[in-house]
Amino acid sequence: MGCGTGIMTSLPLATYGYTVHGIDLDNASIDLAQELAHKLKLPNARFICADVSTLDQKEKFDIAICSEVLGHLANPELLLMTIKSLIKEFGILIVTVPNGYGWFEMEQFCWDLLHMDRFYSFGNRLFGFIKAKLGCIFGTSNMAPGPMIPIIPASLSQTPHIQRFTIGRLQRLFSDCGLDIVDIRSSSLFAGKFTHLLFGHFKWFVSWNKWMADLIPASLASGWYFVLRNTD
Amino acid sequence: MKELLLLGIQDARSGIEIPQKEDVYGHLKRLQFIRSVVETYIIL
């Protein structure tokens, strides 16, 4: 649900052999997803531009994935209830959500406040140049600047986060929807455009950042992954 | 978080190869997590 161009989850899962149905409201994203599925020869990846609540789906799904979507919705409970009606009894719903008060949101707030989008191309080149020079000085070869502009965007629609979730709020939300939490994992400690610009080129930092997320309290992580079970 | 995905996808041979590069957002970690859950609950 909210699959965008499919590049984040749907297409990779299809390459692993699973039958995937991607649904999104954005027509342009779905068009690109369909084009990618065709180019990649993935007939098991199907994409539909539709509102999930209007979906006429007779067969229920084993697993539904709602990744980085809830933060963009005015009524996340409505979507969760709709998804719940589309999965089998004891079916699984995977939800990933950014921490509404975590590092990522803080960086994004600062980024927007400073109107950094105007400068990010220049900034990326500048930071890349500095890191490449440092790489020459310290003899590390993998410090060349990488792309900040995505190869393929995850979505072609631009919708800001309008929800700020905490772990507690999500737990209440899932409970209200009759979804039992089976597992919770944290994504990373630091995340955001500044972190990407400053440290994204350092493999050791990326690995450390990911590793740290599993050690710190969940409330400090930049985002969370939930596995939920439909028990109704 | 959505707009900075750095995972690329390539049709590298007759089959498919997805080059996966981890980034500060943990995109690869998320995909691996989702895949592990799917593998746990679905048998191909």
Chain B contacts in chain A segment 21-40 (CB below 8 A): 36, 39-40
Domain boundaries, chain B: 2-41
Question: Is there a domain that residue A38 lies in?
Answer: yes
In a domain, residue A212? The reply is: no
What is the rounded distance in angstroms from the CA atom of residue A21 to the CA atom of residue A83? Answer: 13
Q: Is residue A39 part of a domain?
A: yes
Residue A147 in domain: no
Give this prediction's pTM: 0.83
Q: pLDDT tens digits, residue range A53-76?
A: 888 777 889 999 999 999 999 999
pLDDT digits (tens, 9 = 90+) for A111-127: 889 888 777 767 667 77
Which one has a higher pLDDT value, A205 or B15? A205
Residue contact A151–B42, C-beta within 8 A: no
Assess if residue A185 is contained within a domain: yes
Number of domains in chain A: 1
**Residue A21 within a domain:** yes
Q: What is the CATH number of the domain that holds A180?
A: 3.40.50.150
Contact A93, A228 (CB under 8 A): yes
pLDDT at A158: 79
Domain that holds residue A64: 10-99+160-189+220-230
pLDDT of residue A46: 94
| Ranges of chain A whose pLDDT falls below 50 | 141, 143-150
Residue B20's pLDDT band (cuts 50, 70, 90)? low
Output phi, psi for A108, to 5 deg. -65, -40
How many Cα atoms are found within 13 Å in the side-chain-facing hemisphere of A217?
A: 6
Express as a percent the part of chain A with pLDDT over 70: 91
Using CB atoms, pick whichever of A4, A9, A223 lies closest to residue B34. Answer: A9
Q: Are A8 and B5 in contact (CB under 8 A)?
A: yes
How open is the CA angle A212-A217-A218, to the nearest 5 degrees? 90
Question: Considering CB atoms only, which of B11, B23, B33 is closest to A196?
Answer: B23
With a CB-CB cutoff of 8 Å, which residues 125-144 of chain A face chain B? Answer: none
Nearest alpha-carbon partner for B30 in A143, A226, A177, A171: A226
Residue A39's pLDDT is what?
85
Residue A75 counted as domain residue: yes
User: What ipTM score was computed for the predicted complex, to two decimals?
Assistant: 0.85
